[in-house]
Each structure stands twice: as structure tokens, then as C-alpha cells.
Copies of this chain bind each other. A is one copy, B any other.
């Protein structure tokens, strides 16, 4: 098959929750779920690869939701699960969510580098600062760090991780049996980071990752998040449910990247989208109504409370959502939902049901052509470079998309018909980061060229 090499095409990530993204998705008659079910995850990854998805994206919080969302009550840990999937997939990118607040840079940088090697250059890190206050208690912390401090720590964490990934130059391991030289000592760099949050000495105990650095993904919805994303991210993932707002967000991300001195086309924006598909619009609508009828308020209200950063369980269900102060925990999603509630004069119950479906993300209910139309509109209209696709339940919700929407996008020339060769960065058109220790092109090597950090 021919590829439109020159034409900009839609990228797709699959945002994976084992019990489905729709809060009641697991109750659908065709649904399977199971936080410990590797078979389901393998099948999902293989279906996503059949659909030529660029990313298999695992969200995570290092705590149990205890019931607000079945997917977050219990699930396989991302770095171990993606490592297992690396061995049974070939092309799809593997995105591990991991917190800069509840990890040590050395351990996390090492596991991400290891995943990149295991997968032949397909690792990505979704950088989160962790917004659930519950987590602190699982890690013996007195309380949760404030938003700004979490982001300052995140920025330093990323700097340390990049330094560790650069520990060994790309050609450091010579393995010369005759001379007995295993590696070139001049190409080993001993990061000596002394910062505000971390003091970390290198080198990392692993060769430089195939991608140089694993791909960096950031949600970047808050101001601090967007500023950090503009500096370091390869992909920005966001929640948008309005075309004009999504266009404005997209333009803002690109502008900030340019202001940070980067080529804005190298920072790609992926809003989330939850497609509910049927052969016809009426079928899709019936499926959506069925899923909505399965929503249990006992689960939906805690989820709404989580996203609002306020306990709404005591509020009258059938009255409009009152004005709420902005939560420190998850500013952007709180504002998005509060805006929606105001604009549509939604009651608490109505908002809880909307959150149960798409959690603030764009929900598109329709036929494959209708869903493709929306994706095309957002993509060509300057609101998206790609999409993080949520499916209401597994495995059917994904199969519907791969068998229905993907061929429509391909027929329009908007989506690839085969994976390009190379690493994940190669496939996404992103440059391989040059090591901070690499000699300038053409320069003769005389020991370490740059002073060590």
C-alpha cells in the first residue's frame, strides 16, 4: 500500500482502562474487564496495533480509587504491563504514566530506559505530578505537595532523568574481545546533579535508550503544566469538549512552544475523545442511552467529587451545581466541568452522568462516518494533531473503532495504512535528542567535551 508521505495525518493513541472509559462500560453485555487480566490487555494491544494506533496509553495513580472507578480500584502496574506487552507487540508506542512526586529519579529513569530497550525504541513517559491527596498516605508523606511545588519538582525530575539517559554515549560499548575493553571510559558520564529537590549521581546502569530519551507526554492543562510542556513535552494530552476551546488550547500550546524556542510542529497536541459507535446514528444513540442507564450514582458521585476537587455527595441531586472554588488538585478539569455546568444549567445528577461517560472529554455518539467527520474537523481545523481515543468498554468498543472509523479515515487519506519503520520518535516525526555530552559535529574527540553538570 502507498503512503501519503508528504501529507499530515492524524495520530492515534489508545487510552486504556480495563473496565472501559465509560464508568458503566464494564456492565455492557459484551464487555470484559479485570484489573489483573493480562490476556485482556494483550488482546487490546494487538487490536490497537491492527488499527495502526501510535500509542497504547496507560493512565495511572499510585493508589486505589476504592470504588469511584472500577478501572482505578485495581489494575496492573504500567511499567511492568507495558514491558510484557513490548514482548508481544511490534510497532505500537508504549506510554507509561508515572509520577514525579512518588518516584525516585534513578529508579524511574532506569525502568523507562529499560522499557525503551525491551521494545526497540517504543517507550513513552506520561509525566504526572499526581493529584490525589490519598496517595501521600501510601508513601508516608504528611500531606500532598501544593500544585506549584509539584511542578517545580517535576521539572527538576525530568532534567535529572534526561541527564541519566545521557550517561553513556550512543557508541560507548565497544565490547572488544581482543583487547578486553568492554566500554570506552571517555564515553561514560557521571551526572552529578545537585538541585532543589534532588541530589543524584550517575551514571545510569543502562546504555542510552534507542530513542535517546523516551518520548515525553504531559497533560499540561494547568498554567504550570502548559509551561512545562512547552519546554519539554513531545506530546500534550488534554481534555476538551468544545471545538472553539480546543482550537484556542491548541494555538496556545503551539505559541508557548515557539516562545520557548522550539519548533512548534514538534510538540503535538492530542485531545481525548470517547466515540460511542453504531452502524447508524440511531444505533449509536441507543447504545449510549443504554450505557447511561447503567450508571450507578453511588460510583458517579465520587468520580464527580474527584474531578471537581469537592465532595458533592451531600448536595441535592436535582438542583443546579452551585459555584465552587477552584480546587488546587485538578484546576483545569474542575474549571472545564464548572463551565459546562453553568453554560447548560446542569443539575448535579446530570453533570455526574456526563462525567460518568466522558469525564470531561469530547464524547461523539454516531456512525463511523460521523465520528470520522468530527475527528477530521478537529484535525484540519487546528484543534488537534492526533487524538487519545477512549473506548466505552473492552474489547468491543475498540473493535468498533478499528473496524469502523479507521477505514474511513484511511479512505480520506487522513490516516496511515501501515506503520512507518523505526522507533516511536521516527514514526511520529520527532527528532532523536542529541546527548548533552555528544561532541559537536566534526569536532575531534578529546575526552569529555562538555563539563559535567
Q: Is A27 an interface residue (CB 8 A)?
A: yes
The CA-CA distance from A206 to B110 in the complex, in Å, is 23
Total chain A interface residues with beta-carbon distance under 8 A? 76
Encoded as 1 (CB less than 8 Å from any B CB) or 0, chain A from 55 to 76 comes to: 0000001111111001011111
Stretch at the interface among A111-119, A250-258, A301-309: A111-119
Encoded as 1 (CB less than 8 Å from any B CB) or 0, chain A from 176 to 195 comes to: 01001011010010000000
Q: Which residues of B contact A80 (CB under 8 A)?
A: 79-80, 83, 111, 114-115, 118
> With A33-B175, A117-B38 as given contacts, are A205 and B67 in contact (CB-CB < 8 Å)?
no
Flag if A138 contacts B27 (CB, 8 Å): no
> Closest residue of chain B to A19, judged by CB?
B182
Return A450 CB to nearest CB of chain B, in Å.
19
Flag if B75 contacts A206 (CB, 8 Å): yes
Q: Which residues of B contact A168 (CB under 8 A)?
A: 74
Flag if A207 contacts B103 (CB, 8 Å): no
Q: Which residues of B contact A67 (CB under 8 A)?
A: 182-183, 185
Flag if A77 contacts B19 (CB, 8 Å): no
Q: Is A85 an interface residue (CB 8 A)?
A: yes
Flag if B24 contacts A180 (CB, 8 Å): yes
Q: Is A413 an interface residue (CB 8 A)?
A: no
> Closest residue of chain B to A63, judged by CB?
B205
> With A19-B182, A66-B203, A137-B201 as given contacts, are A81 and B118 in contact (CB-CB < 8 Å)?
yes
Flag if B139 contacts A188 (CB, 8 Å): no
The CA-CA distance from A74 to B169 in the complex, in Å, is 13
Q: Is A35 an interface residue (CB 8 A)?
A: yes
Q: Which residues of B contact A203 (CB under 8 A)?
A: 64, 66
> Closest residue of chain B to A183, judged by CB?
B73
3 smallest A-B Cβ distances: which pairs?
A83-B83, A137-B201, A77-B114
Q: Can you list 24 A-B pairs, Cβ within 8 angstroms, ordered by A? A: A27-B177, A31-B177, A34-B175, A35-B205, A36-B206, A62-B110, A64-B167, A64-B205, A65-B205, A66-B203, A67-B182, A74-B168, A74-B183, A74-B205, A75-B205, A75-B206, A77-B113, A79-B79, A80-B80, A80-B111, A81-B83, A102-B107, A137-B201, A140-B198
